[in-house]
Amino acid sequence: MAESTGNPSRSGDHSREESPGFFAELLAPVAGFGVSFKTMFRKVKTEMYPEEKRPTAPRYHGRHQLNRHPDGLEKCVGCELCAWACPADAILVEGADNDDTPLADGGTGRYSPGERYGRVYQINYLRCIFCGLCIEACPTRALTMTNFYELADHSRADLIFEKHQLLAPLAEGMVDPPHPMVAGMEERDYYLGKVDGATREQREYASQREQDSAEPDEPTESAKARENESEGAR
């Protein structure tokens, strides 16, 4: 007679081992309330916002900011990569060419070290989900996120931020563009950190630009003729 070489069935043993004990079954419905019971006796802490504002984490995803180079030129080159990377379609960028033609001759001036700059830059905070993908897509570190988070408003239109609202304020040593690049520097020199502030030539250029914009335009020949005719009629 052949002997059985297989292991004896231990299904009964498994059922006895896996079955919970009497007290475990009794306390199972109450175990889910453990966190609630602990919280009931914990002291409630009230944050007095907005009088007291807690500091945010260093890498907090708050409102965006368009950064500048140390001489004041904008880092944005109008490439529109941030707009393409945005999953919520919250960014609108329209680039334009920098123009080194003198302003007196009809030039528009230079706003960035690159060939182009962001002429129009909008972020719709009704759509933005603060994911930070636009920051990762930016090749020049022109766009970063600040720690500012108070964006509530009574108007939906006011939650569409324009370029002048997103631009970083001028720090010490900066000159508001348009103005030329630092003499002898190329675009790559700006990103290598070789520019540490505005030069005397850039300051003089900006000062002259402000003076020209403050002076009233000279009347044209036709305007002068009309004035002479009106004086003669009197």
Among 63-72, 179-188, 190-199, 217-226, the least confident range: 217-226
Q: Is residue 105 one of the residues assigned to a domain?
A: yes
Looking at residue 169, its pLDDT comes to 96
**174 CB-near residues (< 8 Å, 6+ apart):** 68, 70, 71, 72, 197, 198
Q: Which residues pair with 167 in a beta bridge?
A: 66
Domain with 177, as residue range(s), is: 64-213
How is residue 175 written in tokens? 């000159």
- Could you give the count of Cα atoms lying within 13 Å of 201 in the half-sphere of its Cβ? 6
pLDDT at 189 over 90: yes
How is residue 28 written in tokens? 């199972």
Structure confidence by residue, pLDDT tens digits, 195-225: 999 999 999 998 888 887 776 555 545 555 5
- Helix (H, G, I), strand (E, B), or coil: what is residue 177? coil
Q: Tell me, what DSSP letter sits at residue 68?
A: B
How is residue 176 written in tokens? 């508001």
Tally of structural domains, the chain: 1
Looking at residue 149, its pLDDT comes to 94
- The residue written with tokens 């563009």 in the block is 177
Closest CA to 61 of 134, 4, 112, 169: 134
Q: Is residue 54 one of the residues assigned to a domain?
A: no
Looking at residue 36, its pLDDT comes to 80
Is 223 among the annotated ligand-binding positions?
no
Is 138 among the annotated ligand-binding positions?
yes
Q: Is residue 234 one of the residues assigned to a domain?
A: no
CATH number at residue 120: 3.30.70.3270
Maximum CA extent, the chain = 143
Give the length of the chain. 234
Is 82 among the annotated ligand-binding positions?
yes
Q: Is residue 42 one of the residues assigned to a domain?
A: no
Is 76 among the annotated ligand-binding positions?
yes
pLDDT tier at 102, thresholds 50, 70, 90: confident
Is 134 among the annotated ligand-binding positions?
yes
Looking at residue 74, its pLDDT comes to 97
Looking at residue 206, its pLDDT comes to 87
Q: Is residue 19 one of the residues assigned to a domain?
A: no
Looking at residue 37, its pLDDT comes to 79
Distance (Å) of CA 161 to CA 6, 137, 184, 206, 219:
77, 20, 36, 26, 38
Q: How far apart are CA 223 and CA 130, in angstroms?
A: 54
Q: Is residue 18 one of the residues assigned to a domain?
A: no
Percent share of the chain, pLDDT over 90:
59
pLDDT tier at 16, thresholds 50, 70, 90: low
- The residue written with tokens 């675009």 in the block is 187
Q: Is residue 45 one of the residues assigned to a domain?
A: no
Q: Got the DSSP string for 106-124?
A: T--B--SSSSEEEEEEEEE
pLDDT tier at 151, thresholds 50, 70, 90: very high
Q: What is the mean pLDDT of residues 135-147?
A: 96
**139 CB-near residues (< 8 Å, 6+ apart):** 77, 79, 81
Q: How far apart are CA 112 and CA 98, in angstroms?
A: 7
How is residue 186 written in tokens? 């190329």
pLDDT at 68 over 70: yes
pLDDT at 100 over 90: no
- The residue written with tokens 């052949």 in the block is 2
Backbone angles phi, psi at 29, to 5 degrees: -65, -25
Structure confidence by residue, pLDDT tens digits, 113-128: 999 999 999 999 999 9
Structure confidence by residue, pLDDT tens digits, 77-94: 999 999 999 999 999 999
Is 68 among the annotated ligand-binding positions?
no
Q: Is residue 3 one of the residues assigned to a domain?
A: no
